[in-house]
Copies of this chain bind each other. A is one copy, B any other.
Amino acid sequence: MTELNDTTIDAFRAQLTRGECEDLAWWHACQARIEAFEADVQAWEYLKPLTSTAILPYPGQLLRGVPVGIKDIIDTADMPTTWGTGGYLVSPGAVVDAAVVTLLKRQGAMLLGKTVSTEFAYFTPGKTRNPQDLSRTPGGSSSGSAAAVAAGMVPLALGTQTAGSIIRPASYCGVFGFKPTVNTVSFSGIKAFAPSMDTLGWFARHIEDICTTFTALTRSDVIKVLPDLGGIRVGLRNLPGDGPLDLDVEQALSSTARRLEQAGAKVFALPLDSRYDALVMHHQVVLAYEAAQTLASEFQQHGEEMGARLVELIEQGLATSYADYRVSLLAAEQCKQALSRVFADEVDVILAASAPGVAPAGLHATGDPVYCRAWTLLGVPCLNLPLSKGQDGLPVGVQLIADRWQDEQLLSIARTLINALGMQ
């Protein structure tokens, strides 16, 4: 990679301000990288030609000149959308961009193109390969976004998560992946799947870029770097918590715990009762019921062309009663309230597994979101930390989790940790 491919958003903006480079410099660096690696990685569904009107003129843009990849379930007016269908459902261009696309453009971002998604952001894989090992899946459903960021093709890419579609591919590809509190950034113009859980998020190679994007999209304050993590309480708990962990994951958790302690945090096992483990099951009920409703039109018209696992989920949803759906939603709500009390009284963040292990071999499946399901149902913000490697040298991430609407504290703790590790 060139120096520019590996710069941060804030550093690039400083260069622009000092007149040391041009608006399109990063865009050109990304194009070169795409030309070199796209044949192997296949992260892109559509690449956009450069236009002179690429950057909207607004004052104080935080993302000026930053190339961004847009997951292909997100509406764009000047690019086609295929929703990962491989062509059985295609829009040549939406009436308007999805809301987040305009929010990015106002901040000066440049759209590079649309990144590969699994079918409707569920399990049927697209063509993308893991840049860390081309014989392995990048994870899903935000496959192209995670892979493009990992391959240095783009510094920032949008993803969505309804089960584990940001955290898992971030873990498999070795990048930061952030799922904010549910409903933080508008989902308008993005294909819904299970609306009570669908969440927009993003991938980057630098924690600062995750933070700057949060600030840009919410127009909130700059995320602070703390002097150290003294006084920060970290609770270790996976959901589900039963069953033995993969050795790679166990080592990633313990090495991250050690690093947090070295930065001053107190790390301890967090006891949560078995209601929380049941959330994995409740997630599946909510996912199936809502997907069967939400994709009703697509299923009606294209059920014959849909992948087998999606059909199976929709059929499960059609067989799920409203009463059972409500039971699962109310169970989730009880845990949300209880977990808020845990966050208020016992811990600042939770440290948990991102995925069951390193990226599985093969491109026929995208791995298991099991360690993300409960957190996504709870609507809490989750951040994949790409700090560890498994025994075979492949990335294995862990996630930090905070209470709903504590995104700024979560990002501040992560930024401080990375800073303490000297990784910036």
Contact = CB atoms under 8 A, between A and B. Distances in A.
Contacts of A196: 183
A290 interface: yes
B189 A321 contact: no
Contact of A296 (B103, B183, B294): B103
A364 interface: no
Interface in A96-117: 96-99, 101-103, 105-106
Interface in A276-332: 290, 293-298, 300-301, 321-323, 326, 329-330
Contact of A99 (B91, B295, B326): B295
Nearest to A296: B102
A189 B326 contact: no
A48 interface: no
A135 interface: no
A185 interface: yes
A187 interface: yes
Given A183-B196, A186-B290, A192-B186, A99 B219 contact: no
B297 A329 contact: no
Contacts of A189: 297
A189 B187 CA distance: 12
Contacts of A337: 337
A128 B125 CA distance: 48
26 contacts: A56-B300, A77-B297, A89-B95, A91-B95, A96-B298, A96-B301, A98-B297, A99-B293, A99-B295, A99-B296, A102-B296, A103-B293, A103-B296, A183-B195, A185-B293, A186-B290, A186-B296, A187-B192, A187-B195, A188-B191, A188-B293, A218-B322, A219-B322, A220-B321, A220-B323, A337-B337
